[in-house]
């Protein structure tokens, strides 16, 4: 079994290697476990912050969570795949996502802040805090993949759009952060569907994304989806 580390914003933005990241996060914290006021960890409730900090400092806790998540993932694999690669075009890949980001989304499903998928809502509501954390650890520590470009001209157009509108939040290569999702390598069909939802302010109500997508044409959304899906 290969366990990496909890993926954090620094790695996504700077491209740090797993080994370098482990060196940064495994060392004992100089201060209390509660993150500073500027920390992206504050998107999480206190129990989740504590679990993330503890797992970063203790490889045994990380491994325990990973193993528990692998067992729980059998319920998720029908849609997200056993290794976090979606088996359905309308379902997102979880492999390689940021752990904090995924845990935050699971918490939103659990308490009703995120809606739109009846099956996910019911499944996640039944999960304990420990189980949500374990699933997030397991799936986000799987290796990501990407899609081949079938139309280079379309993807080139998408690259220009991406660098103008998406790069600042999602990173140069789409790696995301603790606050923003990893979009690199997502299924183009899922990306297309999500961008349309944001553009129409339907189901996905997010002011920043609405502003970024409201002027996009259908063709531009298709171009963006093709390009982002090819990133890894």
Mean pLDDT by groups of 10 residues along the chain of 232 residues: 47 32 33 57 92 96 98 93 94 96 95 83 94 98 96 98 96 94 96 94 82 96 98 93
Rg (CA), the chain: 17
44-76 burial: b if 16+ Cβ within 10 Å, else e: beeebbebbbebbeeeeebeebbebbbebbeeb
Among residues 70, 95, 73, the alpha carbon closest in space to that of 84 is found at 95
Token pair in block for residue 39 = 């920390």
Phi-psi region of 175 (alpha: psi -120 to 50; beta: other; left: phi over 0): alpha
Domains annotated for the chain, with CATH where assigned, are: 45-140 (1.10.760.10), 152-230 (1.10.760.10)
Within 10 angstroms of residue 106's Cβ, the number of other Cβ atoms is 23
- Residue linked to tokens 């349309």: 196
Residues 76, 80, 81, 87: is their CA dihedral positive or negative? positive
What is the per-residue pLDDT for 19? 34
How far apart CA 135 and CA 37 sit, in angstroms, is 27
What is the per-residue pLDDT for 118? 82
What is the per-residue pLDDT for 38? 59
On whether the CB atoms of residues 190 and 89 are closer than 8 A, the answer is yes
Token pair in block for residue 161 = 């759009």
What is the per-residue pLDDT for 10? 29
């Amino acid at each position: 079994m290969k366990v990496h580390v909890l993926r954090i914003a620094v790695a996504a933005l700077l491209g740090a290697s797993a080994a370098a990241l482990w060196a940064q996060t495994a060392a004992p914290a100089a201060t209390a476990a509660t993150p500073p006021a500027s920390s992206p960890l504050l998107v999480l409730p206190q129990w989740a912050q504590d679990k993330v900090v503890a797992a970063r400092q203790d490889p045994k806790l990380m491994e325990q969570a990973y193993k528990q998540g692998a067992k729980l993932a059998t319920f998720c694999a029908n849609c997200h795949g056993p290794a976090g690669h979606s088996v359905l075009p309308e379902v997102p890949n979880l492999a390689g996502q940021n752990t904090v980001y995924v845990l935050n989304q699971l918490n939103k499903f659990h308490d009703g802040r995120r809606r739109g998928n009846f099956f996910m809502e019911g499944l996640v509501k039944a999960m304990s805090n420990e189980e949500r954390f374990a699933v997030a650890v397991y799936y986000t520590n799987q290796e990501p993949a990407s899609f081949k470009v079938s139309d280079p001209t379309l993807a080139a157009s998408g690259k220009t759009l991406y660098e103008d509108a998406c790069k600042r939040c999602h990173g140069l290569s789409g790696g995301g952060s603790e606050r923003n999702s990893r979009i690199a390598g997502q299924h183009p069909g899922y990306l297309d569907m999500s961008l349309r939802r944001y553009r129409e302010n339907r189901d996905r109500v997010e002011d920043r994304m609405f502003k970024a997508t409201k002027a996009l044409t259908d063709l531009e959304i298709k171009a963006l989806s093709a390009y982002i899906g090819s990133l890894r």
